[in-house]
Structure 1
Amino acid sequence: MNQERVIPRERAAAGDAWELPDMGAGARRQPQRPDVSVEALERIQRDAYQEAFEQGRREGYEAGFREGRDAGLKQGQAEGRQLVQRLRQVLDATAEPAAQLDQAAEDELAALALAAARQVIRREIQTQPGEVVAVVREAVGLLPLSAREITVRLHPDDAAFVRETLGEGERSAWRLQDDPALSRGGCVVETPRSRVDASLERRLNALAADLLGAQARVEDGDEDEPGDGDG
């Protein structure tokens, strides 16, 4: 036998009245959770990872660029300081006593003058082979008048030219001897008691000595020149 439960009036008044939900066309529907597949979740995860990787790479590149730029600036500044130091050394070298620099310049000028003279003499020998005849005559003329048994040593080509050029009477005063060791344009005249070296090398050395001697005389004249007096 069922027993009926009787709700007191006081409790019944305190309860909420239940209403039938609105089932019409305008009723709001609760949003449903979209169906997401495993592939979509993996793709979203990969995209998020790639985006984070690219952002980290960009930030790292920018940081590396700044570091490289700073390192390049520091290296450039260091190279600049080295260049300035070298320039200062050059300027200090130019402030050395003039005598030290003049000696080096004098030696170089003498070498250049000697080379130029050698070229000029060799060119004259090629264009004017008859000059060797004048050299022989001058060298023989330096011997004492009493000199006998005169031997003139020449380069073989010069000796052949002299034989063809000089007359029999002049050539009979001395004996021509071929000497391949001598350069063209020079000769050596010998007697039992005398020797005259008119070789090309000897003449060039004498020319260099004259050049250096002239330079020394000019410098001595500059030093001996009196300065301005006070009164």
Structure 2
Amino acid sequence: VEESFQRGVDEGLRRAEADFGSALQTLLALCRQLDNLRETILTNSIGEMQDLVIAIAEKIVRISVREQDATIVETVDEAIHSAVRSDEFYVYVHPEDFAVIQAKSPDFIAGLNGLNNLVIKKDPAMERGGCKVESENCTVDATITSQFEIIREQIKKRLKQV
């Protein structure tokens, strides 16, 4: 009787170990699948997160541009300094930015040696806060959209490095 009892206990332990071992293996496999799924979701959403970050930044900048004339003045100044030296520049700005830039025109001319003439033109197709500067030698696109495209490309490069 005792021997039969012991065999029953041993058999029960073996079955329990087999059942729990199988359950443990299933649980481990599910954990691996969840981990892979989480990694896939993160990988697939990086582009969406990047687009969301850029969209938020664009909204913030566009609101700021509408509120501050200093933004367009700084943008035009940077664009002029980025352009190859020339004695004449054409600066295309949104009509609502025209008066601010026209008033600052003497400051831009005074800030660059060799610049004799700065022609400021209204361009309704130009977005507020951005500009395009043209000279006989080059064109500098300093629109907010082009600046964000540069930022977007830099983010993509950084993400590829990670």
Alignment TM-score, normalising by the size of structure 1: 0.48
Cα distance in 2 between the residues matched to 1:104 and 1:159: 43
Alignment match of 1:214 (pick from 141, 146, 158)? 158
Say if 1:95 and 1:215 are closer, same or farther in 2 by CA, change over 3 A: closer
> Which residue number in structure 2 is paired with residue 107 of structure 1?
47
Say if 1:179 and 1:93 are closer, same or farther in 2 by CA, change over 3 A: farther
Secondary structure (helix, strand or coil) at the match of 2:51 reads helix
State the superposition RMSD in angstroms.
Answer: 2.5
Alignment match of 1:154 (pick from 93, 98, 101)? 93
Cα distance in 2 between the residues matched to 1:159 and 1:93: 57
Q: How many residues align?
A: 126
> Which residue number in structure 1 is paired with residue 70 of structure 2?
130
Alignment match of 1:189 (pick from 129, 133, 149)? 133
> Which residue number in structure 2 is paired with residue 95 of structure 1?
36
Unaligned runs of 5+ in 1: 1-90, 220-231
Structure with more contact order per residue of length (Cα contacts < 8 Å, sep ≥ 6):
2
Say if 1:166 and 1:192 are closer, same or farther in 2 by CA, change over 3 A: closer
> Which residue number in structure 2 is paired with residue 170 of structure 1?
109
Q: Please tell me whether the aligned partners of residues 84 and 137 of structure 2 are also in contact (alpha carbons under 8 angstroms).
A: no
Shift in Å, 1:207: 1.6
Q: Quick check: 1:180 aligned with 2:124? A: yes
1:1-231 correspondence runs (5 A): 95-96=36-37, 98=39, 100-145=40-85, 147-167=86-106, 170=109, 173-217=117-161, 219=162
Percent sequence identity over matched residues? 22
Q: Which has the higher mean CA deviation after the structures are superposed, 196-205 or 169-178?
A: 169-178
Secondary structure (helix, strand or coil) at the match of 1:136 reads helix
Cα distance in 2 between the residues matched to 1:111 and 1:169: 35
The one-letter code matched in structure 2 to 1:123 is: I
> Which has the larger Rg?
1
The one-letter code matched in structure 1 to 2:141 is: D
Shift in Å, 1:168: 7.1
Cα distance in 2 between the residues matched to 1:200 and 1:128: 14
Alignment TM-score, normalising by the size of structure 2: 0.67
Q: Please tell me whether the aligned partners of residues 91 and 132 of structure 2 are also in contact (alpha carbons under 8 angstroms).
A: yes
Q: Please tell me whether the aligned partners of residues 157 and 184 of structure 1 are also in contact (alpha carbons under 8 angstroms).
A: yes
Indicate the structure with greater helix content.
2
Unaligned runs of 5+ in 2: 1-31, 111-115
